[in-house]
Chains A and B, each alone.
Chain A
Amino acid sequence: MKPFRVLTIVVLTVFFSVFMVLPLYTVVSQGLDPAIIGEALASPVYQTGLFNAFKIAIVTTCLVFLISLPLAMLYDRFEFPGKTMVNMLMMLPMILPPFVGALGFQQIFGHYGVLNSALQYFSIAPVDWLGGEGRFYAVCLIEALHLYPILYLNLVTALANVDPSLDEAARNLGAGRLRRFLKITLPLIRPGIFAGGSIVLIWSFTELGTPLMLGYNTVTTVQIFNGITELETNPLPYALVVIMLLLSAGLYSFSRLALGSNGSAQMMKGSTGTVTRTLKYYQAWLCSGVFALITFCAVLPHMALTFGAFGLDWYGSVLPKSYTMMHFENALSHEIVIPSIMNSLKYSSLAMLVCIAIGLPAALLIVRWRPKGWQLFDVMIMMPLAVPGIIMAFGYLSMCARNPWLNQIFDPIANPTLLLAAAYAMRRLPYVVRAVAAGLEQTPETLEEAARNLGASSWMTLRRIVVPLIGANLVVGALFAFSFSMLEVSDSLILAQKSAFYPITKAIFELSQILGEGSYIACAFGLWAMAFLACTLLTASILLGKKLGSLFKF
């Protein structure tokens, strides 16, 4: 085997051993004690936490389905005004981490927020929207409005791959609309449902930021987060992490079992593409209206965040009473803000470099070289999507705590730079590999063979042929790695423990906890983060076009 391929395999093996296997092993070895797990499961507080986490996952996933499936069907089947812009609009909810969206959400549904102010204007008594069960539904709604694009993009891709003649054949045999949908379309798009649905299910099951920000504390992720401070004396957080890991694996396996067969997808190769129907004038506008309404709801937190960032005295009124740039000035002058931006830039740049340095050879390995056992690497690379962020973050912490030699290099308390960069890189590696692999799969291998045939070495072929041809995919992968790292939540909240090392997300969280001006400064800071991620997604969307959805797949 060629030296570069051997080096790739060695680097991948070491990287995954240290930053995936070892943290998981440490957590599992600490927490996989039947007595401790039994104690955790017997505790009514933790029982409620787990039950709530499940409830959030189920309700969020159902909401996501209710939003995404009709939208994807409308997009696939009909022509309507503004259709070309729809996929770009669908990405809007993703430009804000849901926990920052929670800030905006509180401005709308808070006791003295927009909605209650509007009700009072019509002399209707205010409602405690976020009180009692309201807080639970707020968490679900925020997460659903953030996550539905993932399922939507997968469904649109899956529907586009269904040969229209399959539906026509059923119609030709007398099947009605509902029957065709249930018997033909739904089974054929099952892989797409699984790909998107399982991400949403596990993401919402293990989401930390949103419940934390909304103060919904009786949920396992927040309980783990709160348990970190007493890690040395209390083994229960370990047990909770193991329980969460096992349940996540169970949820993933269950959804794979129920939806994951890709037999139908195999049969659909060579399909002729979707045939869209032209609707009557009012029906077409109705379609556009549905998309506009959902997008409006999804960007409501973003709008509220924007008003919060610019608003002055936004309390008990529908809109702020006046506008100011003061919050941005205050944000910039706050002692943790500038360092946090610099920290995030540092961590994310490092993570991006690691992602590209590892992601490109990894994609070549699984798409082109395919040595014996390449499937193992393929699974490993996709693992970070299936293993919840909070579990990984917790794993890194305990890995350093239990291995002094690792603690010397990655000590999260002394300086978490390397650990955060590696953790960010690990979390974003699947996106980079997916993006690069998609580029390689779309590039005929004969283009590389032609170069080799004319005397080019492997390195020259990579430099002169492969990299220029998949340049857009590499840029998109790098952009994703960088920008999602900038707004990474779980690792940032858990691993950055000293204010000098806070990244942006932890700084936003800390600012939001400050009474008085704190939430406005956090809004201003969040707005900056939102604009940053918007630019990234816009660039990626332009570079990748319709293939953007392929990044959000298992």
Chain B
Amino acid sequence: MVKLEIQGISKSYTPGQPVLKPIDLTITPGEFFFLLGPSGCGKSTLLRIIAGFIKPDSGSILFDSHNVTTLPPEKRDAAMVFQNYALWPHMTVFENVAFGLETRDIRGEIKRNRVMTALEMVKLADLAERKPASLSGGQQQRVALARAIAVKPKMLLLDEPLSNLDAKLRDSMRFELWRICKDSGLTAVYVTHDRKEALSMADRIAVIHNGLIEQLGLPEDLYRTPNSRFSAEFLGNANFFPATVKTIEKDSCIIETPFAVLKAVIPAMPVRPGLKCTAMIRPEFLSFTTVSAGENIFEAELHTGAFLGEVSLWNIIANDLFLTLCELRPASRKKGSVVKIAVAPENIVLLPEA
């Protein structure tokens, strides 16, 4: 297990158009760390810089305080699981997994044992003599993982390893991947654009946007209290509306919105009375209530709804403002009816005005 330090890493492919602006980040030993962001945000570039495939324009990469920035990929001992798995088609599963061991001069029985242990870990020991082309996508993905962990690397780098799998297999592979990484006790850096993947597996997440870390934190914190509209939108569905801070109390503030005066918790950003900002509420934090009046209860008209089985998504109109509400255990409701909606103060997030 190693500590990874990224110090002031930047990269441009064309002058004046940086893919990565100077980034600083520390990943603790044994951490399962996610780089999350949309396509083209620079997350894969950062991963490939850590692996040594791309030279940064500036900055350093440190493994356990040892500067590896100028080391070639083969000297870094940071095994990577590629998006397309990169299994060598001319070798069997066994030979694929054994390759990294052979480069380390591990031969004979020890090599065999290490390969089989890795394959057993991914539950593919029976397929050791098969060629990659005869395996399913999920099996190929597991071989790629076995190949990486067989060498007992200092660090595991995963470049969207589940993106080529279908949705069902992806769901089942998530836990398996997490289990294997945790069992191996490796420091892992995982690149993805899939928020569900990141939220369900990560110890910590860095949301990358335009070559910069937009937000860094625990999955739940990021989801509940995003620090920007981008983070809020990227991590899940959200209702945004304008708000003005009216008064500030001890640990809360009163805000005026187009449809009601609401109480919200004090956000991380500095606030003062009169501050115009954007308020955000996740659809599942809005709920129907039978209480007719009270704190953070407002009236709305039920506009349209979509029944999705375990939940229903409702579009409600509160004083001409469209909001989305996600109802667990959906009840039968009449479109066009006037309903009362409640929201807890801690579920209203104030963000800088867009």
Contact of A460 with B by CB under 8 A: yes
Measured CB to CB, the closest approach of chain B to A458, in angstroms, equals 8
Interface set of B (CB-CB < 8 Å, partner A): 51, 53, 72-75, 77-80, 82-84, 86-90, 99-100, 103-104, 147-148, 151
Given contacts A444-B84, A446-B82, contact A453 B74 (CB under 8 A): yes
CB distance from B113 to the nearest CB of A (A): 18
Taking a contact as CB atoms under 8 Å apart, the answer to whether B86 and A456 are in contact is: no
Q: In the assembled complex, which residues on chain B have CB atoms less than 8 Å from the CB atom of A325?
A: none
CA distance A456 to B105 in the complex (A): 11
Tally of contacts, chain A with chain B, CB under 8 A: 63
Complex contacts, B53 vs chain A, CB 8 Å: 449, 452-453
Cα separation A110 to B41 with both chains bound (whole Å): 73
Is there an interface contact between B73 and A449, defined as CB atoms closer than 8 Å?
yes
Whether B82 pairs with A456 at a CB distance below 8 angstroms is no
Residue of B nearest to A468 (CB): B90
Q: List 28 A-B contacts (CB under 8 A).
A: A446-B83, A446-B84, A447-B86, A447-B88, A449-B51, A449-B86, A450-B80, A450-B147, A451-B88, A451-B103, A452-B53, A452-B74, A453-B73, A453-B79, A453-B80, A454-B74, A454-B79, A454-B103, A454-B147, A454-B148, A454-B151, A455-B77, A455-B100, A455-B103, A455-B104, A456-B103, A464-B99, A469-B89
Say which residue of B73, B80, B83, B88 sits within 8 Å of A465 (CB atoms). B88
Q: Evaluate contact between A456 and B89: CB separation under 8 angstroms.
A: no
A452–B103 Cα gap in the complex (Å)? 10
Q: List, in ascending order, chain A residues with CB within 8 A of B100's CB.
A: 454-455
Q: How far is the CA of A447 from the CA of B86 in the complex (A)?
A: 5
Does the CB pair B84–A451 fall under 8 Å? Answer: no
Number of A interface residues, CB 8 Å? 17
A452 touches B84 (CB 8 A): no
B212 to chain A, nearest CB (A): 26
Q: A349 vs B242: C-alpha distance in the bound complex, in angstroms?
A: 79
A276 interface residue (CB < 8 Å to B) = no
Nearest 5 A/B pairs, CB to CB: A454-B100, A455-B103, A446-B86, A450-B86, A452-B73
Question: Does A457 make an interface contact (CB < 8 A)?
Answer: yes
Interface string of A432-463 (1 = CB under 8 A from B): 00000000000010110111111111001000
B147 proximity list for chain A (CB < 8 A): 450, 454
Bound complex: CA A450 to CA B148 (Å): 9
With a CB–CB cut-off of 8 A, which chain A residues contact B99?
A: 451, 454, 456, 464
Q: Please give, as numbers and ranges, the residues of chain B lying within 8 Å of A450 by CB-CB distance.
A: 80, 82, 86-88, 147
A442 vs chain B, min Cβ distance (A): 11
The contact of B90 among A449, A453, A457, A469, by CB within 8 Å, is A469
- For A446, list chain B residues within 8 Å (CB): 82-84, 86
Residues of A within 8 Å of B78, CB to CB, are: 453
The complex places the Cα of A468 from the Cα of B92 at a distance, in Å, of 13
What is the bound-complex CA distance between A450 and B90, given in angstroms?
A: 14
5 other contacts beyond A447-B86, A456-B99, with CB at 8 A cut-off?
A452-B53, A452-B73, A469-B88, A469-B89, A469-B90
Q: Which chain B residues lie closer than 8 Å to A451 at the CB level?
A: 88, 99, 103
**Chain A contacts of B83 at CB under 8 A?**
446
Chain A residue numbers with a CB within 8 Å of B72 are 452
Given contacts A460-B103, A469-B89, is CB(A453)–CB(B84) below 8 Å?
no
CB contacts (< 8 Å) of B80 on chain A: these are 449-450, 453
Q: Which residue of A lies closest to B97 (CB)?
A: A454
**Nearest Cβ distance between residue A504 and chain B, in whole angstroms?**
36
Q: With A and B bound together, what is the CA distance between A468 and B95 in angstroms?
A: 14
B51 touches A453 (CB 8 A): yes
In the complex, how many angstroms separate the beta carbon of A221 from the nearest chain B beta carbon? Answer: 46
Residues of A with C-beta under 8 A to B82:
446, 449-450
Which of A446, A449, A452, A455 neighbours the largest number of chain B CB atoms within 10 Å of its CB?
A455
**Cα–Cα, bound, A450→B161 (Å):** 14
Q: Which residues of A contact B148 (CB under 8 A)?
A: 454
Please indicate the chain B residues that have their CB under 8 angstroms from the CB of A468 in the complex.
88, 90
Q: CB-CB < 8 A to A456: which residues of B?
A: 74, 99, 103
A447 → chain B, closest Cβ, in Å?
5
Pair A455/B88 contact, Cβ less than 8 Å: no
Residues of B within 8 A of A447 (CB): 86-88
Min CB distance A471 to B, Å, is 8
CB of B88 within 8 A of CB of A444, answer no
What residues on A are CB-neighbors of B84 within 8 Å?
444, 446
Binary interface encoding of chain A residues 409-445 relative to chain B, with 1 for a CB under 8 A from any of its CBs, else 0:
0000000000000000000000000000000000010
A449 (CB) vs chain B CBs: closest residue: B53
Q: Which residue of B lies closest to A457 (CB)?
A: B74
B73 proximity list for chain A (CB < 8 A)? 449, 452-453
Q: How far is the CB of B149 from chain A (nearest CB, A)?
A: 11
In the bound complex, what is the Cα–Cα distance between A455 and B77 (angstroms)? 7
A456 to B88, CA, bound (A): 14
Determine the distance from Cα of A27 to Cα of B78 in the docked complex, in whole angstroms: 56
B156 to chain A minimum Cβ distance, whole angstroms, is 11
Q: Which residue of B lies closest to A2 (CB)?
A: B72
CB distance from B97 to the nearest CB of A (A): 10
Q: How far is the CB of A383 from chain B (nearest CB, A)?
A: 31
Cα A446 to Cα B86 in complex, Å, equals: 6
Select from chain A the residue with minimum beta-carbon distance to B90. Answer: A468
- Within 8 Å by CB of B86, from A444, A457, A464, lies A444
Report yes or no: B86 in contact with A455, Cβ–Cβ below 8 A: no
Q: Determine how close the nearest CB of chain B comes to the CB of A157; give it in whole angstroms.
A: 24
Q: How far is the CA of A451 from the CA of B104 in the complex (A)?
A: 12
Q: How far is the CB of B51 from chain A (nearest CB, A)?
A: 6
Q: Least Cβ distance of A291 to chain B in Å?
A: 34
Q: How far is the CA of A465 from the CA of B99 in the complex (A)?
A: 10
Chain A minimum-CB-distance residue to B76: A453
Residues of B within 8 A of A464 (CB): 99
Min CB distance A188 to B, Å, is: 29
CA gap between A469 and B90 in the complex, in Å: 7
**Is the Cβ of B89 less than 8 Å from the Cβ of A455?**
no
Complexed CA–CA distance, A446 and B84 (Å): 8
Of residues B53, B78, B99, which shows the largest number of chain A Cβ atoms within 10 Å of its Cβ? B99
A369-409: which residues lie under 8 A (CB-CB) from chain B?
none
Q: Could you tell me the distance between the alpha carbons of A454 and B72 in the complex, rounded to whole angstroms?
A: 11
Please, how many angstroms separate the alpha-carbon atoms of A460 and B80 in the complex? Answer: 18
How long is the Cα–Cα vector from A123 to B89 in the complex, in angstroms?
A: 67
Indicate if the CB atoms of B151 and A455 lie closer than 8 Å. Answer: yes
CA distance A452 to B90 in the complex (A): 17
B103 to chain A: closest residue by CB: A455
- CB interface residues, A 444-496, toward B, < 8 Å: 444, 446-447, 449-457, 460, 464-465, 468-469
Q: With CB as the reference atom, state the residue of chain A lying closest to B75.
A: A455
Assembled-state Cα–Cα distance A451/B148 (Å): 10
Closest to A471 in B: B90
In the complex, what residue of chain A is closest to B53 when comparing beta carbons? A449
With most chain B CB atoms within 10 A of its CB, the pick from A446, A454, A456, A457 is A454
- Taking CB atoms, residues of chain A closer than 8 Å to B89 are 469
Q: Measured between alpha carbons, how far is A447 from B80 in the docked complex, in Å? A: 11
Kindly list chain A residues whose C-beta atoms are within 8 Å of the C-beta of B88. Answer: 447, 450-451, 465, 468-469
| A64 CB to nearest chain B CB (Å) | 38
